Amino acid sequence: MPVLWAALAIVGAICLLNLLLTIAVIRRLREHTELINRGNAQASGQGEITLPAGARVGDFRVVTGDNREVTRDDLREGLLVAFFSPRCPSCEEQKPAFVRYASGLSGGRDDVIAVLLGSPEELEGLREELSGVAQIVIEADVEGDMSTAFGLSGYPAFCLMGQDGVLAVTGYRVDILPGYVAL
């Protein structure tokens, strides 16, 4: 009889452990669902990855890889500003479409600024890939001058400028830009 009670105690302990693990998994799934819903809200325009269209970009002063100083006053209508990070899978997905779009702009690389976020060493490959279609600005993180001025909260981010430093179009996908043609 003591063996039966010991077996029942072991089965009970296993069932209790299983119940606790199941509760922990359900809690974690709820957290993931909340994160996914927040991401979908941002994707559908309910959240912004930069300042919203119609907002004026803040003051900044940066130097491009070509040693050209750029300030908010240089943000003319039609200028495309993009933010990329080498640690971002979405950036890798959007990069080919960005290169195609930027290559088709009439002003060439003078109409495009690519802000790359990270250390110079980790940005080397990305810098080489984008320097043919964009002026390059390197910032260590989202607290850099341009990132702060544009209210950057994630990447990739694409901003088409309107007049007087006002954002005309913003989003995290290239297909939000006017004239974009998918392949």
Mean pLDDT of the chain: 88
pTM confidence score: 0.74
Residue given tokens 């250390």 in the structure block: 119
Across the range 21-33, mean pLDDT stands at 80
**Long-range contact pairs involving 7-14 (C-beta distance under 8 Å, separation at least 24):** none
pLDDT digits (tens, 9 = 90+) for 6-25: 888 899 899 988 998 899 88
pLDDT of residue 14: 93
Q: Which two tokens stand for residue 71?
A: 């300030």
Q: Which helix (H) or strand (E) holds 171?
A: strand 167-171
Question: Tell me, what's the pLDDT at 32?
Answer: 67
Confidence of residue 80 (pLDDT cuts 50, 70, 90): very high
pLDDT at 148: 96
How high is the pLDDT of residue 47? 56
Q: Give the per-residue pLDDT at 97.
A: 95
DSSP state letters, 7-45: HHHHHHHHHHHHHHHHHHHHHHHHHHHHHHHHHHHHHTT
- Give the tens place of pLDDT for each residue, 93-119: 999 999 999 999 988 899 999 999 999
